[in-house]
Every structure is written in C-alpha cells, then in structure tokens.
A = this chain, B = another copy of it.
C-alpha cells in the first residue's frame, strides 16, 4: 500500500524503541474497513429509512429477539446506555418501537418492535444482507472463514 509505506518511513523518527509494524497494519486496516463498511451501508442502504448503523443494529436485535432490555442493547451495539436512550427516543418518534417497563423489576425497561418496525426490517434486511455479501465478495469462502476466526479471537481475548 502506497500510503502505509510512506507513513512508516515518517514514523521512524518517532520516539519509540521498537515499532510493531504488523500490529499497526492490523489496527489501521481493521478500522478503515469497518469505517468504510459503515459509511457504505448508511449511504446505500440505511438512508432509505433515515437510519444510522446503530439504529439499524438496535432494530435488528429487536427483530430477532422481539423484546430486549436497554442494557443488553447497549452491550450488543457497543455504545453507552445514554446513546441507547437517545436512539430509542428517535425510533419511538418514528413509531418503530416502544418502551415497556418490567413489572417485576421496575428499574428495567424493555424495548419492543412495533408492526411498522417489523415491516421496515423486512424491507431493509434483504438489502442490508446484499450489501454484506458485496463488501466481502473479493474474499473466497475459505478466506471469509479465516478472517472471521481471527477476528473472533481478537474479540474474545479483549472482551469486546
């Protein structure tokens, strides 16, 4: 990669005893790929319904699990509970979900998908899935299995 090489040269002047170039490459390319993925999906798929990546991932959870506690949504999406609270507000305004307080433990709030929300997902998911397939289409099935396996290890070992 052109940019990567140039950067490494400049980094030589950095006050570092030893540079682990392979680690740098993994982190750089990992984040760039994820960022590109998100941007592409928001632009080409999710903008149809005015949804952000995180909003979609929440609707997705609700679609799969019917009803999910706020805390689990935050954990699943990798964002703070404050963010979930805000996004839930937006989704509620769009009538795609609603809140439901647990009667047994009134501290817990469940978020539930509405019929309208389900329809949106039934329209959106096939398009999203086509996007997923397209993004990784330059990798063979075996390569997809390899990269998933390696990423899973990173996720597991870091408790991501």
Contact = CB atoms under 8 A, between A and B. Distances in A.
Interface string A135-151: 11111010111111011
A154 B133 CA distance: 12
Contacts of A132: 20, 23-24, 26-27
Interface string A19-53: 11011111101111111111110000000000001
Contact of A31 (B38, B154, B157): B38
A136 B33 contact: no
Interface stretch (A9-17, A85-93, A95-103): A9-17
Counting contact residues on chain A (CB < 8 A from B), the size range is 35 or more
A151 B29 contact: yes
Contact of A27 (B125, B136, B156, B158): B136
**Residue from A22, A53, A153 with most neighbouring chain B CB atoms (10 Å):** A22
